[in-house]
Amino acid sequence: MSQKEVVQSLFQNRIGILATMHKKEKVISPILEKELEIKIIVPEGFDSDKFGTFTGDVERTGGQFEAARSKAEGAMALYGETLAIASEGTFGPHPFVPFIPFNREVVLLVDKENDIEISGIATTTETDFKHKVVNSFTEAYEFSLSVGFPETGMVVKLSERSKDSSEMIKGITTKEELEKAVTFALGKSTNSEVFLETDMRALYNPKRMKNIEAATRDLVKNIRSLCPNCEWPGFKATERKKGLLCEWCKQPTELTLSYQYSCNKCGHNEEKLYPNGIEQADPGNCQYCNP
């Protein structure tokens, strides 16, 4: 069968439960319904916050993939279906440039009927992951505007260490709500300071929603990548090997030399050299020629 026929035989006209309560269907559903012909349903009453929150009032158990998997399985259980999609995001310092904020999104498809688990990943530094300690509404409002408010929602907490939901107000999207929240928090503060942060939930964060869309497109790409050995979807890069040789001195650089591709179904592995179509590194990227 062709690539398209394989994908259609697995997913066409099936019900896919999208495990979200934060409007992620806005960017995930149109892509999966068009590209895979899955009928997406968002479950009513599904509480994705019980798997962890960015504000820390509910600790996430396990890593990013484990959390996404738990969401998918929880959503499937509600409807008795065998196909679900879930996403999970992380925020923190860039792994190579620590002072730059970094967002990594995973969109995971879990298919119990065919024993398939395939993911898409997108990373970006285009994120509003920021916070600040303030001691007045004026300072809070100025900071909020600088990070994209009101399109980007805000969270007000008594302190950075606050974990109790009674010590934080989320989903703030108007000047009036922000003033009320800051005034309330300052009234409870013991040091005349409160902690302000961007709301990283997808429905309050346009930049994060855009990255979830990118991860969904990566998921579709990986589903359409068939294993050359067993013709099963999900044949994707699982390991990067650096060491592309410099054009001048022929020494290895930090640039990508190859990717290792793997199949979860049959275990087939394959190395693909020069994934970016470049067989030699520009000397400007060489630590020897351009120290």
Tens of pLDDT, residue by residue over 150-184, are 999 999 999 999 999 999 999 999 999 999 999 99
Beta-ladder partners of 101: 93
Tens of pLDDT, residue by residue over 204-224, are 999 999 999 999 999 999 999
Phi, psi at 84, each rounded to 5°: -145, 155
- Give me the pLDDT at residue 291, please: 75
Residue for token pair 């009674």: 166
Same domain as 207, residue 195 = no
Q: Which domain covers residue 183, as residue numbers?
A: 131-199
Domain presence at residue 233: no
Tens of pLDDT, residue by residue over 223-264, are 999 999 999 999 999 999 999 999 999 999 999 999 999 998
% of the chain exceeding 70 in pLDDT? 100
Same domain as 216, residue 105 = yes
Same domain as 190, residue 211 = no
Please enumerate in sequence order all residues whose Cβ is within 8 A of that of 21, keeping only pairs 6 or more positions apart, or say none: 46, 47, 48, 49
Same domain as 219, residue 89 = yes
Same domain as 141, residue 118 = no
Please enumerate in sequence order all residues whose Cβ is within 8 A of that of 57, keeping only pairs 6 or more positions apart, or say none: 163, 164, 165, 168
DSSP string, 109-139: EEETTTTEEEEEEEEES-----EEEESSHHH
- Give me the pLDDT at residue 45, please: 87
Same domain as 184, residue 82 = no
Same domain as 139, residue 34 = no
Average pLDDT for residues 276-286, to the nearest whole number? 93
d(CA 25, CA 31): 10
Please enumerate in sequence order all residues whose Cβ is within 8 A of that of 188, keeping only pairs 6 or more positions apart, or say none: 158, 167
Closest by alpha carbon to 220, among 123, 82, 122? 122
Domain presence at residue 291: no
Average pLDDT for residues 25-49, to the nearest whole number? 96
d(CA 19, CA 75): 5
- Provide the pLDDT confidence category of residue 109 given band limits of 50, 70 and 90: very high
